[in-house]
Amino acid sequence: MSPCATIAVTDAAPRDDLLTQTGLPARGAGAVLVIACGALAHEVLALKQINGWDHLDLTCLPAIWHNHPERIVPGIREAVERHRSTYKTIFVAYGDCGTGGLLAQTCDALGVEMIAGPHCYAFFDGLDRFTSREETTSFYLTDFLTRQFDAFVWRPLGMDRHPELVPLYFGNYERLVYLAQTDDLALDHKARDCARRLGLDYERRLTGYGDLATALGAL
């Protein structure tokens, strides 16, 4: 069974634990299919609702593939081939995401477009702004990654069991930058706590949906 075929789709925000493990299936109702990282599902669904984009359907690959970029290209290829006959247009809402350019090459070969940028931090912040900042000592969180900090960062790196590893992994960082898609005080508090646990200075930027909104709006 496909990892994207086990969750009933609604316009409500999907549960993060399901997005992390299994992704999100397509409805088959719209003219355009967006294939996205599960870490973007909340944002894509919010933009659909805000803008009334009923022509867009969404399917997501498991968000945990952030930690396994070697799975992204085969997953995108399989999803495109599986849905190609159902949709007039398919759009890939991923940055490069650690694939070393292979995702862009694969999308070109498949004849589908993808969003520009190395990762979601860049297109949420705005690719031009992100590139101009050159913040090599900043560690980034989004809304999703703030909610899932323990599952994506703290536990996979073993810092829950060995807190002495924190300076080993994050000693070269100076600041945690929370790129906020929503103005959520609870998430702000959680991101601040993440910075405290990592021993980093804290900055919050309310970016909204950035270039993701622009790219989806063009569809």
Residues 13-39 have pLDDT tens digits of 677 665 565 555 666 667 999 999 999
Positive or negative torsion for Cα 116, 84, 19, 22: negative
Q: What is the arithmetic mean of pLDDT over 68-92? A: 94
Name the pTM for this structure: 0.85
pLDDT at 1 over 50: no
Angle at 18 between CA 26 and CA 37, to 5 degrees: 55
pLDDT at 20: 61
Q: What is the DSSP string of 113-150?
A: EE--SSSHHHHHH-HHHHHHH--TTEEEE-HHHHHTHI
Q: How confident is the model at residue 133 (pLDDT cuts 50, 70, 90)?
A: confident
Of 103, 114, 83, nearest to 5 (Cα)? 83
- When pLDDT is averaged across residues 125-129 and rounded to a whole number, the result is 90
Residue 196: what pLDDT?
Answer: 98
Could you tell me the pLDDT band of residue 158, with boundaries at 50, 70 and 90? Answer: very high
- pLDDT of 109 above 50: yes
Q: 189 pLDDT exceeds 50? A: yes
> What is the band of 95 on the pLDDT scale with cuts at 50, 70, 90?
very high
118-154: b or e for each residue (b if 16 or more CB lie within 10 Å)? ebbbbbbbbbeebeeeebeebbbbbbbbbbbbebbbb
Q: Which two tokens stand for residue 216?
A: 């989806």
Percent of the chain with pLDDT over 70: 87
Please tell me the number of Cα atoms within 13 Å of 78 on its side-chain side. 12
Task: Evaluate whether 32 touches 55 at the Cβ level (below 8 Å).
Answer: yes
Share of the chain above pLDDT 90, in %: 74
Dist CA 72 CA 61 (whole Å)? 8
pLDDT digits (tens, 9 = 90+) for 48-63: 999 999 999 999 999 8
